[in-house]
Structure formats: C-alpha cells, structure tokens
Amino acid sequence: MRWAVRWLAGVVMHFRAEVLGLLLTLPCAALGEPRSLTVVPHPLEFDPRPELVSASDKLKGAWVEAVREAGEVVTPSRRELDAALLEVGRRDCRTSNDCLAALAVKGAGLYAVHAMVELTEAGTFVVTARVVRDDGKLMASFTVQQPRGDKKKQLVPVVKLLLVDVIKGLGVKALPTFKEALAAPPPAVVTPPPPPPPAVVAPTVVEPVAAPVEPASKTRTVAGFSVMGAGAAVGLAGGVLLFVAQTQARALMVDARGFLPATADANTLTRANTANTLHLAGLVGLGVGAASLVVGLVVLLTGPSEASVSFLPIAGGGVAVVGGPLP
C-alpha cells in the first residue's frame, strides 16, 4: 500500500513540475518572439495597354510575390484581400491615403501598399508606389523607371524586377511591426477668467474760463502811441543823418548848388558820395517818421486798428500811404 502511495505522489509532483514549466515557458516565448510584419498589397494597377492588360493576372501575382519576398512579411490570402476590397468599397486608393488605410484595417494588416505600372510612348516602364499605415500615415513613396529594351523579352519578368526594386526602395522590410506609442496629450491650458470691467466714472466737465478781453479803446491807444513813438524815433534818426550830411558838405566846400570845387580829388569825391547817401537816408527817415506820426494819430482818433501803412522811398524823400475804414 505504501509503495502505491509513493508512486502516486511522484506522478503528481512530476505533473506539477511539467505544468509549472509550461506556464513559465509560454509567456517568455511570447515575449521573445518578434511580431510578424503584416502588409496588405492593393491589386497592381497599370496602363490599359493591350500588352499589359493581356498579362494582368501574371503581373498582379508578381506584385504579391514581390511584397512577400521583401522579408518576414505576412499578406492576406486572395479571398481575404477580395473581401477587404469589397468591404472598403472605394476605387481611389491610387491617390488617397485614407483608402489604403481602410484597406489595411479591413485586411487585418498594419500597412497597405499600392503600385502603378505605366509604359510611356518612348517604351519606358515607370513604377510608382507608396506604403501607408492603418492610421493614414504615409510611411514612404518611391518611383523607379527603366527602358523596356528588347521587345522580344517576356514582359512579366522585367516588370517583376522593377516591382522588387520598388519594394526595396520603399523600405518595406525595415518597417516597424508595431506603431509607436502615442504622445501624451498636452496639458489643458486653463484660461483665467477675464478681469472685471473697470468702473466707469463720469468725467468732470470744467468750463473753460475765457481770457479777459481788453477793450478796443485801450488796444487802439497802445497801438497809436506805439506807431507814433516809432515814427518819432525814425524821424529823429533821419534828422541826425541830415545834420551829419550837411556838416560833411560844408567841410567839402560844396556850394549852394551842390557842386564841388574844381580842384576836388578822388578822396573828396568819395566823401561827397557818402554825404549824398546820408542826406538821402535822412530825408527818408524824416518822411517815414512823419508818416508814422500821422498814422499813430489816425489810430488814436479813429475806430479799430484796421489801418494799413505803406512806405515807398523815392529820390529826395519818401511817400507814406495810410489806409483804413472811416469811423
């Protein structure tokens, strides 16, 4: 009986060890094994040239093979791809990244890839391709072109080499097998409430104080005496100039007619010209002074000081013109 109990205990302990080892191995294997790169190839598109259309099935198959040969790439089956295309229901994947993103989601892939084959009139193959992630992000785009060369060569092998070059140019093999973690959203900016509007204080209106206006009579009096004073000063200066001129003329022995002696030299002539100039200036000063006295008197005796005075010097004296409204 004891040996049976010991045998049963040994079996149980061995089973527990196996189960424990299995439980420890599975998570480690799951963590250590890299994830597969899942790419959904959109059916190859090409120009509607007869030589391309006639080999459409072979070209589409070569396109899928080129994608799978890029590395550890997992692609959906033909049936799964057709079902994903039918569910997407769009025909603009050639230009729309959103269309390729939807194809990647419906095809259970992380990426979707599209390629277009064109044959120019000059006989050059142009292949344009791009790869888009399932969130619509464009990962890469690439274009390759090559002359067709000898037309006797089979078309499909030539195009497949170009498709392989396109896949390499897109860097499909180096695409990450998972999306990077999304960046944390920026902290919300709390906008402080606006400050209360300032209190409106009615402005105090201060009536301007008018400056006292001097009476017109006082203004006329000041103006009249000012003009008369200026005229007196100018007349006095003119009288002084006349006196100096007469003194110089007597010293030069000028006769009553204003002629010099016949024996006058150059110095005497210069002094005589100076005396004449002083004589003329003195007459002008006396004329202006007299006119100013008249204008000042008119301002004192008449209305507002709207009178105007003009002085015109003339030979041998001056003319004063006085104008203004009558009282």
Claim to verify: residue 54 and residue 161 sit in the same structural domain: yes
Better-scored residue on pLDDT, 82 or 307: 82
Claim to verify: residue 42 and residue 139 sit in the same structural domain: yes
Whether 201 maps to a domain, the answer reads: no
Maximum CA extent, the chain: 186
Claim to verify: residue 164 and residue 52 sit in the same structural domain: yes
Mean pLDDT, range 174-198, rounded to an integer: 73
Give the count of domains, the chain.
2
Q: Which of 67-81, 144-158, 288-302 has the lowest mean pLDDT?
A: 288-302
Claim to verify: residue 147 and residue 221 sit in the same structural domain: no
Q: How many helices (H) and strands (E) does the chain have?
A: 8, 8
Better-scored residue on pLDDT, 179 or 28: 179
The pLDDT mean for the chain works out to 76
Give 228's contacts (C-beta < 8 A, 6+ positions apart).
292, 293, 295, 296, 297, 300
Please, are residues 268 and 218 in contact by the beta-carbon 8 Å criterion?
Answer: no
Q: Which residue range is the domain that position 84 belongs to?
A: 34-174
Whether 185 maps to a domain, the answer reads: no
Claim to verify: residue 155 and residue 229 sit in the same structural domain: no
Residue 301 amino acid letter = L
- The residue behind tokens 């589409």 is 60
Claim to verify: residue 164 and residue 287 sit in the same structural domain: no
Please, are residues 152 and 191 in contact by the beta-carbon 8 Å criterion?
Answer: no
Say if residue 125's pLDDT is above 80. yes
Backbone angles phi, psi at 4, to 5 degrees: -70, -40
Say if residue 183's pLDDT is above 70. no
Please, are residues 159 and 135 in contact by the beta-carbon 8 Å criterion?
Answer: no
Claim to verify: residue 165 and residue 56 sit in the same structural domain: yes
Predicted local distance difference test score (pLDDT) of residue 315: 54
Mean pLDDT, range 156-176, rounded to an integer: 90
Q: How far apart are CA 174 and CA 170, in angstroms?
A: 9
Q: Which of 9-13, 26-30, 264-268, 287-291 has the lowest mean pLDDT?
A: 26-30
| β-strands 73-74, 37-41 pairing | parallel
Question: Highest mean pLDDT range out of 50-59, 91-100, 214-223, 305-314?
Answer: 91-100
Q: How far apart are CA 43 and CA 82, in angstroms?
A: 9
Mean pLDDT, range 189-207, rounded to an integer: 74
Q: How far apart are CA 108 and CA 6, in angstroms?
A: 53
Say if residue 170's pLDDT is above 60. yes
Element (H, E) at 132: strand 124-133
Structure-token pair, residue 8: 């049963």
pLDDT interval class at 95 (50, 70, 90): very high
- The residue behind tokens 């709207």 is 306
Whether 180 maps to a domain, the answer reads: no
Query: Residue 187: exposed, middle, or buried by beta-carbon count in 10 A (0-12, 13-18, 19+)?
Result: exposed
Mean pLDDT, range 142-162, rounded to an integer: 87
Say if residue 34's pLDDT is above 70. no
pLDDT interval class at 26 (50, 70, 90): very low
Whether 104 maps to a domain, the answer reads: yes
Claim to verify: residue 244 and residue 153 sit in the same structural domain: no
Last residue of a domain, one of 111, 145, 174: 174
Cβ atoms within 10 A of the Cβ of 93, count? 21
Better-scored residue on pLDDT, 218 or 115: 115
Whether 5 maps to a domain, the answer reads: no
Q: Which of 27-36, 61-70, 89-98, 116-125 has the lowest mean pLDDT?
A: 27-36
**Global pTM value:** 0.47
Please, are residues 118 and 46 in contact by the beta-carbon 8 Å criterion?
Answer: yes
